[in-house]
Structure 1
Amino acid sequence: MTLKTSLSYRLLFFVLYFCPANLVFSQNIRPYDLEKQAAHAELKGYDASYRVNYFENIIIRSFITSDIANFQFRSSDGQRTFDLVPAAEYLLGLSLDYKWIALEVSFAPAFRQTDAIEDLSNSSSLRLGLNFFYSDQLRQEFSYTRLVGFINTNSETGLSDRLRLLNNTELQTIRGSTYYIANKNFSFRSHYAQTERQLRSAGSLIPKLTYTYSITDPNLEIPVETINTAQLKSFDLIFQMGYLYTFVAKEKWFATIGVHPGVGYNSARYEFLDQSNQLFNNISFAFDSELKFGYNSYRWFFGVGGNWRNFNILNNEANQLNRDNSYLEAYLGFRFNDNKPMRKFFGWFEDHLGF
């Protein structure tokens, strides 16, 4: 059993251990849950006719997504451009949400070789996530991603063995994002984590600050005269002023649309094979757009969504880095009942830290 598979099983074991079997599939909402929902709405000052939370439930969410970083890499002389796509391009994932915190693990199944793509069987993708709310309107996300094995989709590079060349190319990324939800009646949790349900149509401005540190190791198997980069380290700080709106039909069916333009700062450090290095500092621009459809009831929820992202650096020719990608995601989830020991443990953090 691999580490990635083991992490998924541990999440499932946690739920089965803490949830009594006779309560797991009950469709009747508990009086305790109704009391907590009303108390939360009063405490946080939002209209309970717009959103309802399921904080007293353990929420398991499974998903498949193509949301893996695609990026552009240029040779140091600027003459060759590589449009890199991960060989293991689809992630299967599982997340566990309870109260104010969420854990997530996703990975790519074993990559299957084809006649067109030779010797990429060691390709892998892994992402770990930790998300939580500081308060009802302030959300924090952290993630770690490791991708090994890329395909160069630019056929104009003139390399005879362009696929095998990137067999061991590796990208590691540590990312954090902080969101502020301006409209208290808009359920950001319903859109991103399904720990709530939007009951009536609403929208909100959502300022977002994202900070990312990434390390790219080309690890080329054969020497290429114009590619002498040993490692690229990059830091990005981006502020986006986004807007999301959710249309609701019959309190369970929904469609959400959003746009997130932004501007930021990029610092990229190139370390070369001759042990020299070069630093670039530039202004960057970002734009995200997204669309999602789905169903969200008391126990079950599911949906599909898509996102298009564009990330450009002002001095792209010098920085040699650009990102432009789109992805699709489909998910299915279920909400289980919690129990008193769990409430007591997590309640301590709510009482003492304000979560």
Structure 2
Amino acid sequence: MILNLCFLSINAQNKPDSAKIISYEEQVTLRINFDTNAEDFIANYNSDAGNFQTRLAINNKIRTSFSVDYKIISAALSFAPDFFPGNNDNSLKGKSSYTDFKFRFFPGQFIQSFNYRNVKRFYVDNMNDFLPDWRKGIDPYFQFPDLRIQTFGGSTSYVFNKDFSLKSIYYQREWQKESSGSLIPVLEYDVSYFTNKTDGLKDKEQQFNIGLNLGYHYNWVIAKKINFAPYIFTGIGGKWSSYQSHLPDGKKSDPEKNKYIIGKFGTGIHLGYNSAKFLFGAKLNVTSAYYKQDSTSEVTNNNVFGLLYFGYRFPPPKVLKRNYDKIQKKIPVL
């Protein structure tokens, strides 16, 4: 509903190497990622007068992530520095902010992740649909400086083929020595809080999403240290939303509750290089989620991004290994 209002208002290894997979979990792996964060929200409205579309985006096109992996520990922090081109066009698009924090765990053939994301300040990307004489790079965009989205979420994945290493593609914790693929179901869940101010009055919306995706990943080892990994997935899920606004008289409106069926689709490719110490690679991913709000409107959330990563592995400092071992004695699951 808040999005509607905006639209309308304008090596050592932790375990012995197997015959097909090398593990680097006893090493510390540091990575830096650079990706083009092109997430947007699109609303389409159909009427007798034709089709109407509004697209909201954030003024952060290049995102930086730092991650560390050691044994069961896997964490990443993402943000969007102002000094990158595409992140600092504040005079025309407004100043957006983006932060994303992730934790990951790897029990057996499961991969469990948790994340928190905070995005604030959006602008209308398709200005020419509203103002035909609008000039890109000269005229300012319609902005929503108080629109903020906070998301708490997670995912649970299971790799059916034990000879296939999803960790080697996404986290570089392992290296798969022979080509192989696997079906991978993923259960995703999150709760998001949308807040916005219009004429000094605050609107709030809460959304809960849950979905099940089924994908196929293939890791093609084209050389001893180089792999190429395509994937594709499709999924279905549900969205439950509750919207409430503050009225001019100081009261709150009655909650407006809705539920939707969501369809998802995605595909991507990965190309990587791996050695005992150095690693780097590139990825391209495309995902799309779609649901109908009513008989005349629909919402599409598209995410298209490319990613470059560079990493380095090294033995853990003695102080890290000593303290981790002490904690592990008290918490065996670590």
Q: TM-score, normalised by structure 1?
A: 0.77
Greater share of residues in helix: 1
Match of 1:5 in 2: none
Match of 1:112 in 2: 88
- Which whole-Å CA distance do the structure 2 matches of 1:345 and 1:95 have between them? 20
Residue 117 (structure 2) aligned to one of 134, 145, 152: 145
Relative to structure 1, the CA distance from residue 244 to residue 90 in structure 2 (aligned partners, 3 Å threshold; closer, same or farther) is: same
Secondary structure at 2:100's aligned position in 1? strand
Relative to structure 1, the CA distance from residue 247 to residue 298 in structure 2 (aligned partners, 3 Å threshold; closer, same or farther) is: same
Contact 1:288–1:310 at 8 Å: present in 2 too? yes
Residue 182 (structure 2) aligned to one of 194, 204, 217: 204
**1:305 offset after TM fit, Å?**
0.5
**1:103 offset after TM fit, Å?**
1.4
Q: How does 1:1-355 map to 2 (within 5 A)?
A: 29=11, 33=12, 36-38=14-16, 48-67=18-37, 69-72=39-42, 81-110=53-82, 111-113=87-89, 117=92, 120=94, 122-133=95-106, 135-155=107-127, 158=130, 163-220=141-198, 230-274=203-247, 275-276=252-253, 277-315=255-293, 321-347=299-325, 348-349=327-328, 352-355=331-334
- Which whole-Å CA distance do the structure 1 matches of 2:294 and 2:190 have between them? 18
Secondary structure at 2:143's aligned position in 1? helix
Deviations 1:299-323 (A, max 9, x none): 1110111111010114455786431
Relative to structure 1, the CA distance from residue 138 to residue 336 in structure 2 (aligned partners, 3 Å threshold; closer, same or farther) is: same
Relative to structure 1, the CA distance from residue 51 to residue 61 in structure 2 (aligned partners, 3 Å threshold; closer, same or farther) is: same
Q: How many residues align?
A: 304
Match of 2:5 in 1: none
Deviations 1:10-43 (A, max 9, x none): xxxxxxxxxxxxxxxxxxx4xxx26x542xx5xx
Contact 2:39–2:304 at 8 Å: present in 1 too? no
Q: What amino acid is aligned across from residue 101 of structure 2 in structure 1?
A: L
Secondary structure at 1:109's aligned position in 2? coil
- Which whole-Å CA distance do the structure 2 matches of 1:126 and 1:241 have between them? 28
- Which whole-Å CA distance do the structure 1 matches of 2:296 and 2:318 have between them? 58
Relative to structure 1, the CA distance from residue 211 to residue 68 in structure 2 (aligned partners, 3 Å threshold; closer, same or farther) is: farther
Greater share of residues in strand: 2
Secondary structure at 2:160's aligned position in 1? coil
Secondary structure at 1:190's aligned position in 2? helix
**1:72 offset after TM fit, Å?**
2.7
Secondary structure at 2:172's aligned position in 1? coil
- Which whole-Å CA distance do the structure 2 matches of 1:172 and 1:59 have between them? 29
In structure 1, the gaps of 5 or more residues are 1-28, 42-47
Match of 2:7 in 1: none
Relative to structure 1, the CA distance from residue 269 to residue 157 in structure 2 (aligned partners, 3 Å threshold; closer, same or farther) is: farther
Contact 1:198–1:251 at 8 Å: present in 2 too? no
**1:326 offset after TM fit, Å?**
1.0
Relative to structure 1, the CA distance from residue 279 to residue 242 in structure 2 (aligned partners, 3 Å threshold; closer, same or farther) is: same
**1:325 offset after TM fit, Å?**
2.3
Contact 2:290–2:298 at 8 Å: present in 1 too? no
Q: What amino acid is aligned across from residue 237 of structure 1 in structure 2?
A: I
Contact 1:285–1:314 at 8 Å: present in 2 too? no
Deviations 1:242-273 (A, max 9, x none): 11100002321010011111111111222234
Match of 1:45 in 2: none
Q: What amino acid is aligned across from residue 71 of structure 1 in structure 2?
A: F
Contact 1:60–1:333 at 8 Å: present in 2 too? yes
- Which whole-Å CA distance do the structure 1 matches of 2:203 and 2:140 have between them? 18
**1:132 offset after TM fit, Å?**
1.2
Q: What amino acid is aligned across from residue 286 of structure 2 in structure 1?
A: W
In structure 2, the gaps of 5 or more residues are 1-10
Relative to structure 1, the CA distance from residue 350 to residue 194 in structure 2 (aligned partners, 3 Å threshold; closer, same or farther) is: farther
Moved more, 287-296 or 210-219: 210-219
Percent pairwise identity? 25
Relative to structure 1, the CA distance from residue 345 to residue 242 in structure 2 (aligned partners, 3 Å threshold; closer, same or farther) is: farther
Contact 2:20–2:163 at 8 Å: present in 1 too? yes
Q: What amino acid is aligned across from residue 72 of structure 1 in structure 2?
A: I
- Which whole-Å CA distance do the structure 1 matches of 2:294 and 2:160 have between them? 34
Q: What amino acid is aligned across from residue 97 of structure 2 in structure 1?
A: S
Q: TM-score, normalised by structure 2?
A: 0.81
- Which whole-Å CA distance do the structure 2 matches of 1:318 and 1:170 have between them? 26
**1:82 offset after TM fit, Å?**
2.5
Q: What amino acid is aligned across from residue 333 of structure 2 in structure 1?
A: G
